[in-house]
Amino acid sequence: MTISTAAVHVPNNNLIIDAYLAEPAGEGAFPAVVVIQEVFGVNAHIRDVCDRLANAGYIALAPAIYQRNAPGFEVAYNEAGLKEGRKYKEMTDADELLSDVAAAIAFLKARPNVKPDGVGTIGFCFGGHVVYLAATLPEVKATASFYGAGITTMTPGAGEPPTLTRTRQIDGALYGFFGNEDQLIPNGQVDEIEAALKANGVDYKVFRYDDAGHGFFCDGRSAYVEVAAQDAWQQVQELFGRCL
């Protein structure tokens, strides 16, 4: 499929959020997906995810969730980049993150080529946590959360109670993707997430991959695991195809 890409600006009250947009070329009403970055910024990997979604028939938008404190933020996959990205992660706030995702959704739904009946989200690393949080927004019909650390232990900017306690507010479908060797997300925490999704009647699936750790989906990281990444991508397409 032929796609087009652009740098765009998403208004959110007095904040203008930089974002990357990828969309199928031509007319039509396409489902849409908000893509949330890792701590490393809206980098080549996140832009590639947007492009892959556009090639699959979705309009994808990746807003810069560090816009308030670090406009244009993008760092390498190394220890220095991780340290810098975590610094700005600690400066985020749940209400601001929800506001930014809601603004991204409003931006998408205002476009004439977007289906009006809801959008999905996909997020990786810290973005996996953010999209779990954003699954509580009523417009979100489907969420793909990849290895979101801290869901069971904290809420961005607030600490306690953890984001997991908001599971009862999720109305759409949610798929979670985790590596069984992820040192940042113990398997017991994945058990807690799955138990909360089940107890609250969420339409969900949790996928756990052997021999995979944190960041297994990203082919720009040494943690990349091709078999797990390919299976996860198929599951994402099934989720969005069914719900959007």
- The dihedral region occupied by 125, where left means phi > 0, alpha psi between -120 and 50, and beta the remainder, is left
Contact 115, 137 (CB under 8 A): no
Helix axes 94-109, 126-134, angle to 10 degrees: 70
Distance of CA 229 to the CA centre of its chain: 15
Beta pairing, strands 32-36 & 119-124: parallel
Q: What pairs with residue 123 in β-bridges?
A: 36, 145
Q: CB count, 10 Å around CB of 237? A: 16
Strands 59-63 and 15-24, sheet pairing: antiparallel
Active site residues: 125, 182, 214
* CA gap 151, 165 in Å, rounded: 9
